[in-house]
């Protein structure tokens, strides 16, 4: 049947998604919504650079920008329409390897899952069009190195109240450990 309204909304609105997941103890980047330059600049002063500026609802890194200082943050905010009624998601930049966990949740339990890896990370591949990005699916999902990713995925499904739906979750693993990135209640692929 797919997700009900509230989980569906949480899977589309990135700031609300991250708030719900942090409340459930799931590690993810510091984030907030911003509909003004003042709010965005305060967040930047608190978190530091680099920051990620992205649409509140989007896929495939479309409209996503990395801001490395106040000048590039202001450019990204203007391009996104902040100050003209638009709101964006701001996130702490999380360094590390990026991958995804796709699941089929049935009545809130993960019934099927598989892991793939992005080479290079999605934002880099979207911004550097000369790169031929690769997605590598693993057939070693039952190896011990994936236990933490799978456990986090099950916690995300539970925390967001996802009943029966396909999910596509992205994660980073780097110097700060495993960090959840975002989820869509849909099969993988940007055109969904």
Using CA atoms, how far apart are residues 189 and 168, in angstroms rounded to an integer? 9
Q: DSSP state, 145?
A: G
List pLDDT tens digits, range 45-80. Answer: 999 999 999 877 655 556 788 999 999 999 999 998
Indicate if the pLDDT at residue 192 is higher than 50: no
- Edge-to-edge strand order for the sheet containing 109-119? 134-137, 109-119, 97-106, 165-174, 177-184
Determine the pLDDT at residue 127: 72
Determine the pLDDT at residue 132: 84
Peptide bond into 139 cis (omega under 30): no
List pLDDT tens digits, range 136-180. Answer: 899 889 988 899 999 999 999 999 999 999 999 999 999 989 999
């Amino acid at each position: 049947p797919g997700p009900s309204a509230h989980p569906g909304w949480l899977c589309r609105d990135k700031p609300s998604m991250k708030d719900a997941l942090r409340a459930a103890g799931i590690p993810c980047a510091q984030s907030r919504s911003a509909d003004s330059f003042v709010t965005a600049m305060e967040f930047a002063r608190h978190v530091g650079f680099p920051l990620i500026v992205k649409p509140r609802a989007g896929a495939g890194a479309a409209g996503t920008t990395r801001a490395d200082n106040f000048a590039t943050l202001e450019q990204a905010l203007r391009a996104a329409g902040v100050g003209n009624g638009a709101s964006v998601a701001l996130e702490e930049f999380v360094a590390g390897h990026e991958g995804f966990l796709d699941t089929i949740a049935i009545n809130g339990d993960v019934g099927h899952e598989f892991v793939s890896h992005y080479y290079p990370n999605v934002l880099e591949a979207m911004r550097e069009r000369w790169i031929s990005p690769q997605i590598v699916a693993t057939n070693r999902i039952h190896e011990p190195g994936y236990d933490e990713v799978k456990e986090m995925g099950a916690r995300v499904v539970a925390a967001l109240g996802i009943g029966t739906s396909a999910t596509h979750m992205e994660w980073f693993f780097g110097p700060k450990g495993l960090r959840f990135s975002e989820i869509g209640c849909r099969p993988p692929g940007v055109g969904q």
